[in-house]
Structure 1
Amino acid sequence: MWTAIILSALAMTAIVALRYLAASGVFALVTNRVRPGYHARLGQQIRREIGWSLASAAIYGIPAGVIAWGWQEHGWTRIYIDWNAYPLWYLPIAPLLYLFAHDSWFYWTHRLMHRPRWFRVVHAVHHASRPPTAWAAMSFHPWEALTGAVVIPVLVFAIPIHVTMLGLVLLIMTVMGVTNHMGWEMFPRRLVHSRLGEWLITASHHQRHHEEYKCNYGLYFRFWDRVCGTDRGLSPNA
Structure 2
Amino acid sequence: MEFAPAIIISAVAMTLIVGGRYLLSSGFFAWLTNRVRPGQYGQLKPQIGREIRWSLLSAAIYGVPAGIVAWGWQNAGWTKIYTDPNMYQLWYVPVSFFVYLVLHDTWFYWTHRLFHRPQWFKVAHAVHHDSRPPTAWAAMSFHPVEAISGAIVIPALVVAIPIHVAVLGLVLLVMTIMGVSNHMGWEMFPRWLVRGRLGKWLITATHHEKHHEYYRGNYGLYFRFWDKICGTDIGLADLGSRFSTAAGNQRIGE
Q: Same fold (TM over 0.5)?
A: yes
Following the alignment from structure 2 to structure 1, what is the Cα–Cα distance between the partners of residues 184 and 235?
A: 17
2:202 equivalent in structure 1: 200
2:244 equivalent in structure 1: none
1:212 equivalent in structure 2: 214
2:121 equivalent in structure 1: 119
Following the alignment from structure 1 to structure 2, what is the Cα–Cα distance between the partners of residues 177 and 86?
A: 30
Deviation at 1:37, TM superposition (A): 1.3
Secondary structure of the equivalent of 1:92? helix
Following the alignment from structure 1 to structure 2, what is the Cα–Cα distance between the partners of residues 66 and 117?
A: 31
Consecutive unaligned residues of structure 1, counting only runs of 5 or more, are none
Following the alignment from structure 1 to structure 2, what is the Cα–Cα distance between the partners of residues 5 and 113?
A: 31
4+ residue runs over 3 A deviation = none
1:156 equivalent in structure 2: 158
2:83 equivalent in structure 1: 81
Following the alignment from structure 1 to structure 2, what is the Cα–Cα distance between the partners of residues 145 and 233?
A: 28
RMSD: 0.8
Alignment identity in percent?
Answer: 69
2:7 to 5, 9, 23: 5
- The AA in structure 2 aligned to 1:125 is V
2:248 equivalent in structure 1: none
Following the alignment from structure 1 to structure 2, what is the Cα–Cα distance between the partners of residues 84 and 175?
A: 29
Higher mean Cα deviation, 228-237 or 22-31?
A: 228-237
Q: What is the 5 A alignment of 1:16-55?
A: 16-55=18-57
Higher mean Cα deviation, 35-44 or 48-57?
A: 35-44
Deviation at 1:44, TM superposition (A): 0.4
Per the normalisation by structure 2, the TM-score is 0.92
Q: Deviations over 1:93-120 (max 9, x none)?
A: 1110011001011111111111111111
Deviation at 1:62, TM superposition (A): 0.9
Deviation at 1:2, TM superposition (A): 2.0
Does 1:56 pair with 2:58?
A: yes
Following the alignment from structure 1 to structure 2, what is the Cα–Cα distance between the partners of residues 115 and 183?
A: 25
Q: Deviations over 1:67-87 (max 9, x none)?
A: 110110011111111000000
Following the alignment from structure 1 to structure 2, what is the Cα–Cα distance between the partners of residues 196 and 169?
A: 19
2:246 equivalent in structure 1: none
1:182 equivalent in structure 2: 184
Secondary structure of the equivalent of 1:88? coil
1:96 equivalent in structure 2: 98
Per the normalisation by structure 1, the TM-score is 0.98
Deviation at 1:181, TM superposition (A): 0.3
- The AA in structure 2 aligned to 1:83 is P
1:109 equivalent in structure 2: 111
Following the alignment from structure 2 to structure 1, what is the Cα–Cα distance between the partners of residues 27 and 235?
A: 28
Following the alignment from structure 1 to structure 2, what is the Cα–Cα distance between the partners of residues 89 and 145?
A: 33
Secondary structure of the equivalent of 1:171? helix
Deviation at 1:136, TM superposition (A): 0.0
Deviation at 1:139, TM superposition (A): 0.1
Following the alignment from structure 1 to structure 2, what is the Cα–Cα distance between the partners of residues 177 and 232?
A: 19
Does 1:65 pair with 2:67?
A: yes
Deviation at 1:5, TM superposition (A): 1.0
Higher mean Cα deviation, 204-213 or 227-236?
A: 227-236
Following the alignment from structure 2 to structure 1, what is the Cα–Cα distance between the partners of residues 106 and 40?
A: 32
When the two structures are aligned, how many residues end up with a matched partner?
A: 238
Deviation at 1:40, TM superposition (A): 1.4
Deviation at 1:156, TM superposition (A): 0.5
Deviation at 1:214, TM superposition (A): 1.1
Consecutive unaligned residues of structure 2, counting only runs of 5 or more, are 242-250
Following the alignment from structure 1 to structure 2, what is the Cα–Cα distance between the partners of residues 150 and 172?
A: 17
Following the alignment from structure 1 to structure 2, what is the Cα–Cα distance between the partners of residues 110 and 62?
A: 22
